[in-house]
Structure 1
Amino acid sequence: MKKAFWNLCKVSPVVLAAAFFAANSAVAAEVNEQVTNVAQLSEAQDYNNMSQVTSVSQFSDVQPTDWAFQALQSLVERYGCIAGYPNSTYRGNRALTRYEFAAGLNSCLDRVNELIATATADLVTKQDLTTLQRLQEEFSAELATLRGRVDGLEARTAELEANQFSTTTKLVGEGIFAVSDVFGNSRALPGGSTAARTDLNSNTTFSDRVRLNLYSSFTGTDQLQIRLNAGNIVNNAGVSGTNMTRLGFDVSDATNSVAIDKINYAFNFANALRVKVDASGGELYENVNTFNPDFASSGRGALSRYGRFSPIYRQGQNGAGLTVTFNPGGPLSLTGAYLAQSTNNGNIVNGFGANNPGLNNGLFNGDNTIFGQLSFQPSKAFNIGLTYARSYFAGNGANNLFQSTGSAFANNPFVAPGTTTRTESNNYGVEATFQFSPKLAISGWGGYTTADARSGGNAGADADIWYWAGALALKDFGGEGNVLGVIFGQPPKVTGGSIKNVAGNTNLDDSTSYHLEGLYKFKVSDNIQITPGLLVIFNPEHNDANDTEYVGTLRTTFTF
């Protein structure tokens, strides 16, 4: 059969035209049917954008010395039966199947009919038509099969269009179920505390968090996001005595009440300028690159709060405002943002944000953050960022420099817990990611914050706060899609300044806490991930008088 096929190909260059069209038409149908990733989408677009050529010289990958050059030249100039890819290539070495050949033959027959209809039938010889008729008869079964597949696709497409949720909106969901427990001898106390120690009494918990995102697009390049959130994963600080044991996916309202906690709209102001407007629930770590791609997600990343990314991205959390990213296409990109964050202890559901003038929580006269980040990516393997944030707390709620990430003293250095004072902070950070190979990547961050008290008993005082961390990711460890991760660092710690305690002495964190986290992300399927892990906090609250605390967690994440 194969020998007979090639004998037919020698009869006329029209047969070669059919082969070319086959390599395009049938594969295009297959790619358009099963586009599942960016590479396939690009290939499908290439096939759909093929354009007619008038000279064989238009093909950059065809040379006069090629064995098929004369045949291609004849097909282009005599029959007008050749199309090229958008990048001016022909791709003549690409293999084709019998289905592809059948599809191409059908396309070339249509072209012959056009020539006959326009009174140019003399360009096609009787021998050519005889050959085409024989080929059409031989491949009649394949042509019928292909026609059936196309009809089936059209029917499925019509059914999907008739029953789709929306022509502009896509629903994306995530459900987390977690089993967790905190272990240790006694609850952590802040440095210098004189309170009596109590036992760390904890129970194993089974809890959940569910999020439904509605993504709408009206132009193809814009996106409106509305998110519904519910959960009952509590903050571990109530048991352990420190926010250093917090999970990265706990919730502010742990009653499983459903609330709209995020509304934003993003669009391209220009080709290189992306604008995002947050009306509610705006978070810098969702608007910019955090340089920790394997662990940044709350549902599929690190298990702990501190292990997800640098605390500098907690500035302006749950706010309203504007984020603008300028990316001209080179290795450099620049992001600027302004967020007026919510108060009421960061409670997303009941927070006031920038919408309550009666409580001085406006867009500009309440708690707010001005943010800027310069990203440099000279290659796909290396990415580094320089970040700055200036935050202001108006004193309308409990001050929280890092949104409860790190020690209580580092988050509120100037006043006793539960009291407030106007505070300004300047935050500086550097973050980087380096991928040694497709299966080994490291990332890390370091940050420095200087905070100044503008009112209260410590008015005029300042505090210096440092933090750092590094993460290692071994990809495809034990199976494709799995990740073995280790994260180690020091949560925010007050290392200097002029803060005075009640005795009039300088108040600093006495010792150093260390964060150690090990986790294994096991990919069950594209929609299910199971992540067991252990978090260890040495010297909680930067107090070496505290016992080491442990948090064991098994998280299962469903996406749909």
Structure 2
Amino acid sequence: MRRIIWNILKLSPAIVAATFFSANGAIAGEVNEQITPVAELSEETTPMAQVTSVSQFSDVQPTDWAFQALQSLVERYGCIAGYPNGTYRGNRALTRYEFAAGLNACLDRVNELIATATADIVSKEDLATLQRLQEEFSAELATLRGRVDALEARTAEIEANQFSTTTKLKGEVIFAASSPFGDTRADTDNNPNNNPDLDSNVTFSNRVRLDLDSSFTGKDKLRVRLEARNIAQFDNGSTSTSSPRPNLTGTRMTRLGFDGDNGNDFGIGEMWYEFPLGDALKVRVDAVSGEYNDNINTFNPAFESSGGGAISRYGRFSPIYRQGDGAGVTLTFAPKSPISASVGYLADNNNNPNAGFGAFNGSYAAIGQIAFQPSKAFGVGFTYARTYQNNEGVNLFDSTGSALANRPFGNIATTANHYGVQALVSPSSKFALSGWAGFSEATAKTGLNQGNLVVNQGDDAEMFYWAAALALRDIGPKGSTLGVIFGQPPRVTNSDLTEDTDTSYHLEGLYKLPINDNIAITPGILVIFNPEHNNNNSTIYVGTLRTTFKF
């Protein structure tokens, strides 16, 4: 085919025009199946004025294989134009609109030459050659015409049956083989001899997420997530009659970062809408299962993802970003400077109209963060959160840390002030060191006298936690990550009731191995020393092999 076009290009513009016309735009349709409407053509694609010398094209060199053909068309016939920036772009695909414009220019020039009787330029021999070529290659031209007709039919079918012009489907699927192991389960008493044995059964489970992302202005995004999963929570179990859960390890410190079980029934995992206001303000409205770690910079990019980051719940990011889970709004002001600011409000029981619930009278979490990030190599954030949780389910650190840290006064209404600092140092794209530290003050809002538990309204408790994480990228295949995370989960350090007597330590190692752009395998090991901040508890391990598919 290229040989045919080359022979044609050596002839007059009339031959070029007539031959392309006979092909009915086949070549244009072959190299560019998608037709760009005239209204969408940018200024960059607007042809420049007629050139008078091929040297006016900055991207055409005398060594180019088509140089002589272009030189002949420009200097002999004058029907070649370029782009406003002085380029010809001979290697890019030709749209049908560009073909029509070029064809019309050549035909106008041919008519002008014929009208002025320039017989020495456009000869009868040229026209006879054109007729012979049309007859000789009639089969090829008919084939091209048929291919274009088939492509147009396929395009029409796709346009008629496409899912949406504004919505894209993205997905993530996790297959996980996991098992906790060790001597005994953890508990909170001081007797090391009565702990039950830890069952070391291997589980194979999954999580599926389907994200429907829509945009209506090109700068906004509406996401609806469908989620199904059956990944066990390796924790201290649940006595809920609606969703009972066995006591597997005796502590929530062993939870995975991607766990959760809804019986593999698809439901709405999250739903939010994000849009800009001006050049510096971004607004995000969460309608279902909003979380601050999705809305605000956590300064732990290597490990924050549940599908591709840390294997543990605590290792993903600071617990201060786990405050709140529901509906609300988050505002991020990020001008073109190293300093940015975020504020947010989430309500857990926003859809409940009963007294003590709703968007403003029930459990809530308000957050504010000032971030300083002059470059990708360094960043630091200072964060404050104010929370209120009613007695429907107090969980101050969203199942990270000890049971006492999450419920220092039992299951009664509690307010808390949370303070956190997070930092990231990444001197190169292959090395990153991140970490966080947090301090919380909780206050009991009501009293309780139940057996050995006596709580007075106004009782206080203080909690502290910290962690450091190291990420080494491209250790092996490009895109791989070797990670180590070490820290202390939330611990009650001072209380009017009961304190955690000892200190637990969280150690995690993982290696994310990309198979290709869509598949990654991550083996990892989680070690909890002195679970539940109790030296009487034996060390517990959790081994995991996570395979993540993205599409």
- TM-score w.r.t. the length of structure 1 is 0.74
Q: Does 1:339 align with 2:345?
A: yes
2:531 is equivalent to residue 533 of structure 1:
no
Aligned to 1:269: 277
1:471/1:152 CA distance change after superposition, 3 Å: farther
Aligned 1:251-290 pairs, distance under 5 A: 251=260, 253-290=261-298
Match of residue 422 from structure 1:
414
Aligned counterpart for 1:111 among listed residues 99, 105, 112 = 105
Structure-2 separation of matches of 1:105 and 1:167: 27
- Residue type of the alignment partner of 2:443: A
Give the superposition deviation at 1:360: 1.5
Question: Is contact 1:383-1:432 (8 Å) kept?
Answer: yes
Provide closer, same or farther for how the CA distance between residues 310 and 302 of structure 1 changes in structure 2, counting only shifts above 3 A: same
Structure 1 counterpart of 2:240: none
8 A Cα contact 2:184 2:198, kept in partner: yes
The residue that corresponds to 2:379 in the other structure is 384
Structure-2 change in CA distance of 1:324 and 1:147 (3 Å): farther
Per the alignment, residue 435 of structure 2 pairs with 445
Give the drift of 1:185: 0.6
Q: CA deviation at 1:513?
A: 0.9
Pair 1:326–1:286, CA change in 2 (3 A): same
Check whether the contact 1:332–1:377 (CA below 8 A) recurs between aligned residues.
Answer: yes
Task: Report the equivalent of 2:20.
Answer: none
Q: Distance in 2 between matches of 1:26 and 1:428?
A: 62
Rounded Cα–Cα distance in structure 1 between residues aligned with 2:339 and 2:176: 37
- Aligned partners of 1:493 and 1:512 also within 8 Å: no
Q: Once structures 1 and 2 are overlaid, which stretch shifts more, 268-277 or 123-132?
A: 123-132
Q: Does 1:319 align with 2:326?
A: yes
| Residue 110 to residue 488, structure 1, CA distance change in 2 (3 Å) | same
The letter of the residue matching 1:493 is P
Going from structure 1 to structure 2, the CA distance change for 1:13 and 1:147 (only over 3 Å counts) comes to: closer
Structure 1, unmatched stretches of 5+, are: 17-24, 35-44, 343-352
The Cα shift of 1:320 comes to 0.6
Name 2:483's counterpart in structure 1.
486
SS at match of 1:240: coil
Residue type of the partner of 1:250? D
1:247 alignment partner in structure 2: 256
After TM superposition, give the deviation of residue 131 of structure 1 in Å.
8.1
Residue of structure 1 in register with 2:359 after alignment: 363
Say whether the 8 Å CA contact 1:315–1:389 is kept in structure 2: no
Q: What is the one-letter code of the residue matched to 1:420?
A: I
> Does the aligned pair in 1 maintain the 2:254–2:312 contact within 8 Å?
yes
SS of equivalent to 1:301:
coil
Distance change (3 Å), C-alpha of 1:515 and 1:198: same
Query: How far is 1:472 from its partner?
Result: 1.0
Shift of 1:281: 0.8
Task: Note the C-alpha offset of 1:551.
Answer: 0.9
Q: Which amino acid aligns with 2:438?
A: Y
Q: State the alpha-carbon separation in 2 of the partners of residues 326 and 501 from structure 1.
A: 41
Query: Which residue in 1 is equivalent to 2:83?
Result: 84
The 10-residue stretch of structure 1 (112-121 or 272-281) with the greater mean CA deviation from structure 2: 112-121
Q: 1:550 offset after TM fit, Å? A: 1.1
Which residue identity is paired with 1:183? F
1:305-316 to structure 2, matched below 5 A, reads 305-316=313-324
- Which aligned pairs between 1:104-253 and structure 2 lie closer than 5 A? 108-115=102-109, 127=121, 151-190=149-188, 196-237=194-235, 238-251=247-260, 253=261
CA deviation after TM superposition for structure 1 residue 176, in Å? 2.3
CA distance in 1, matches of 2:207, 2:392: 26
The change in CA–CA distance for 1:460 and 1:163 in structure 2 (over 3 A counts) is same
Comparing 528-537 and 148-157, the one that deviates more: 148-157
Q: CA deviation at 1:53?
A: 2.6
Q: Is the 8 A contact 2:79 2:102 kept in 1?
A: no
Distance 1:383 1:155, change over 3 A: farther
TM-score, normalised to structure 2, is 0.75
Which residue pairs with 2:507 in the alignment?
Answer: 515
Q: Alpha-carbon deviation of 1:30? A: 5.4
Q: Per-residue deviation at 1:386?
A: 1.1
What percentage of aligned pairs have identical amino acids? 38
Given the superposition, is the C-alpha separation of residues 488 and 300 from structure 1 closer, same or farther in structure 2, using an over 3 Å criterion?
Answer: closer
1:373 aligns with 2:369: yes
Partner of residue 21, structure 1 = none
Distance (Å, rounded) in 1 between the aligned partners of 2:333 and 2:114: 55
By how many angstroms is 1:370 displaced?
A: 2.2
Alignment partners' CA distance in 2, 1:543 and 1:389 = 29
SS at match of 1:293: coil
Cα distance between partner residues in 1 of 2:340 and 2:519: 35
Question: What is residue 42 of structure 1 aligned with on the other side?
Answer: none
Matched residue type, 1:521: L
SS at match of 2:219: coil
* Amino acid of the structure 2 residue aligned with 1:219: T
Higher mean displacement: 135-144 or 199-208: 135-144
- Of the structure 1 ranges 177-186 and 527-536, higher mean CA displacement relative to structure 2 is found in 527-536
Aligned to 1:299: 307
For residues 247 and 554 of structure 1, what CA distance do their matches in structure 2 show?
11
Change (3 A) 1:100 1:430: same
Structure 1: which amino acid aligns with 2:537?
A: N
Cα distance 1:555–1:145, how it changes in 2: closer, same or farther (>3 A)?
Answer: farther
- Tell me the matched-pair count: 511
Contact 1:242 1:408 in 2 (8 A): yes
Q: Kindly provide the amino acid, as one letter, of the partner of residue 323 in structure 2.
A: Q
Structure 2 CA distance for partners of 1:239 and 1:80, relative to 1, 3 Å: same
Q: Give 1:215's aligned amino acid.
A: D
Q: CA deviation at 1:367?
A: 2.1
Deviation at 1:31, TM superposition (A): 7.6
Counterpart contact for 1:28–1:48, Cα < 8 Å? no
Match of 1:461 in 2: 460
Following superposition, the deviation at residue 384 of structure 1 comes to 1.7
Do the aligned residues in 2 keep the contact of 1:534 with 1:552 (CA within 8 Å)?
A: yes
Q: Report the equivalent of 1:401.
A: 396
User: Per-residue CA shift, 1:443-476, capped at 9, x if unaligned?
Assistant: 4121222313143436252414131221313237
Mapped contact 1:234–1:254 kept (Cα < 8 A): no
**Structure (1 or 2) with the larger CA radius of gyration:** 2
SS of 1:108 mapped into structure 2: helix
1:121 Cα offset (Å): 6.6
- Taking a change above 3 Å as real, the CA distance of residues 367 and 48 of structure 1, as seen in their structure-2 partners, is same
Mark the CA change 1:205 to 1:105 in structure 2 (over 3 Å): closer, same or farther. closer
State which drifts further: 217-226 or 136-145.
Answer: 136-145
Task: Please give the secondary structure, in 2, of the residue aligned with 1:267.
Answer: strand
- How far apart, in 2, do the equivalents of 1:105 and 1:48 lie? 17
The Cα of 1:490 is off from its aligned counterpart by: 0.8
Considering only aligned residues, what root-mean-square deviation do their CA atoms show, in Å?
A: 4.8
The counterpart of 2:536, out of the listed 526, 545, 558, is 545
1:376–1:247 CA distance, 2 compared to 1 (3 A): same
Q: Is the alpha carbon distance of 1:388 and 1:48 closer, same or farther for their aligned partners in structure 2, counting shifts above 3 Å?
A: same
